[in-house]
């Protein structure tokens, strides 16, 4: 007859296993980036449409930067550690000559972090609308394009002004 584990021992092992799996999930999330709970401390800064259906980033993109990076954004960089850019990506719908935002497609994250030398100090992630991570190679799938704007600390978005209605984020 096999020995029956004592209840306190079983509870201890169960607790250990749950803690280990939670820690592993948190470590994975920290590595790919976590979807913000909301955009309360982010401000809209830019929009772009990639209308090439062959491009993996095809869609309408709305970009936001957090408070930590706003002053650097106004200056065109460089950005401090803790800066976070969030891109909400929507499908493109067509109604004759009109293009509009459709369903939410993905969330792109770009966060300035310590120790990410391979990607210019930035951590990149692409998440599904439910927050699950898409498999990407941050160097090949993200950073290689961002090297085109190395002089702006690898950030494509920049403040735009329209005549007397010059718009600069608050």
pLDDT-based confidence at residue 32 (cuts at 50, 70, 90): low
pLDDT digits (tens, 9 = 90+) for 40-81: 999 999 999 999 999 888 999 999 999 999 999 998 899 999
Instruction: Say if residue 37's pLDDT is above 80.
Output: yes
Can you tell me the mean pLDDT for 123-140?
Answer: 91
Q: Give the predicted TM-score (pTM) of the model.
A: 0.76
Tell me what the mean pLDDT of segment 150-162 comes to.
87
Choose the weakest-confidence range: 26-35, 95-104, 154-163: 26-35
* Residue 22 scores a pLDDT above 50: no
**Among 107, 147, 154, 135, which residue's Cα sits nearest to residue 28?**
135
pLDDT band at residue 33, thresholds of 50, 70 and 90?
low
Q: Provide, rounded to the nearest whole percent, the portion of the chain with pLDDT above 90.
A: 58
Overall residue count recorded for the chain in this entry = 170
Contacts of residue 112, defined as CB under 8 A and 6 or more positions apart, other chains included, come to: 69, 79, 80, 81, 82, 83, 84, 121, 122, 123
pLDDT interval class at 157 (50, 70, 90): very high
Q: Just give the CATH number of 36-166.
A: 3.50.70.20
Are the beta carbons of 76 and 69 closer than 8 angstroms? no
CA distance linking residue 34 with residue 1, whole number of Å: 48
Strand partners, 109: 86, 125
Confidence band (pLDDT; 50, 70, 90) for 170? low
> Helix and strand tally (H, E) in the chain?
3, 5
* Torsion (CA) 17, 29, 90, 67 in degrees, nearest 10: 140
> Cα angle vertex 95, ends 90, 101, to 5°?
15
Cα separation of 62 and 43, whole Å?
11
Q: How far apart are CA 139 and CA 149, in angstroms?
A: 15
């Amino acid at each position: 007859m096999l020995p029956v584990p004592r209840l306190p021992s079983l509870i201890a092992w169960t607790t250990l296993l749950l803690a280990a799996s939670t820690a592993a999930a948190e470590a994975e999330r920290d590595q790919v980036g976590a979807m913000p709970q909301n955009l309360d401390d982010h401000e809209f800064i830019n929009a772009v449409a990639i209308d090439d259906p062959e491009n993996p980033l095809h869609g309408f993109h709305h970009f936001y930067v957090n408070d930590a990076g706003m002053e650097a954004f106004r200056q065109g960089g460089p950005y401090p550690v803790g800066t976070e850019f969030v891109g909400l990506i929507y499908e493109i719908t067509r109604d004759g000559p009109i293009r509009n935002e459709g369903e939410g497609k993905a969330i792109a994250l770009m966060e300035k972090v310590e120790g990410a030398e391979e990607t210019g100090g930035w951590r990149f992630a692409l998440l599904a609308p439910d927050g699950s991570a898409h498999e990407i190679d941050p160097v090949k799938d993200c950073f290689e394009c961002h090297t085109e704007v190395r002089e702006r600390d690898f950030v494509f978005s920049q403040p735009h002004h329209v005549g007397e209605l010059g718009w600069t984020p608050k």
